[in-house]
Amino acid sequence: MRFVLLSTATALALAACAPSVPNDAGVGFDSYDENRRARVDSELATSLRPDVGMTQPAGNPPQSAGDASGQGGGDDIAAMAAAALDRDPDAPASGAGAAGAAPGAVTNSAGISNENNFDAVSSRRSIEEDAARVAQNTAQYQQIAPEPLPQRPSGQTANVVEYALTTTNQVGQPIYSRSPFASKAREQRNCTAYASADLAQEAFLESGGPERDREGLDADGDGFACGWSPAPFRRARG
């Protein structure tokens, strides 16, 4: 009985001397969190210091991390925020002025005349100079007098226009009788002597056409030689 009581007392004494272990964290977690917060605070203070990477001038005591974060860092952040608020949103970014600059006005380029603009003219020359220029232009102005209409040729020359307007039949519609020896082959051979159908029609009318076809230029008897057509002249009359 005495041995059992002695063993129980010894176990309780050992349990009381053992250090307590937190339920929610393992060994060393508190020290890890503290070290991480200290490192983040140090890096933040270093990034806000304006003199990082620069040699401290002689005779000036170095600023602590607390001074840099409390004074220099706060002033720099406030200055940058104020500059961002004051900057024109349409203004180009820093360094982009040369690349995005608007081109200058082009001078001495051909364009619409501004001679009727009093402000533009008065900036270039005086009233006397402008009056002299107007007088010079007036002296060079020439008014062309109308000429009389040309007269129609008189004589025995046939007028193909008048003939086209006085006839009513169509090309290929026979009206006049022709010799039994008349043929399209003979007509085409004889038409090669004329440079155009108008000249052939004119010669055809002068030689007795359309009633008579002495030159063999109207084989079908429609009154139109060598494929000549009165249609353009009729359309012009409306």
| Interval 155-196: pLDDT, tens | 666 789 999 999 999 999 999 999 888 888 999 999 999 999
100, 92 in Cβ contact below 8 A?
yes
User: Residue 96 — very low, low, confident or very high, per pLDDT cuts 50/70/90?
Assistant: very low
Tell the burial category of 124 from Cβ atoms under 10 Å away from its Cβ (0-12, 13-18, 19+): exposed
pLDDT tens string 19-44: 555 555 454 555 667 777 777 677 76
Q: What is the pTM of this model?
A: 0.37
Q: Is the pLDDT of residue 80 over 60?
A: yes
- Measured from the Cβ of residue 219, the count of other Cβ atoms closer than 10 Å reads 20
Q: What angle do CA 96, 47, 56 make, to 5 degrees?
A: 100
**How far, in Å, are 22, 131, 186, 201, 214 from residue 194 at the CA level?**
127, 62, 14, 10, 15
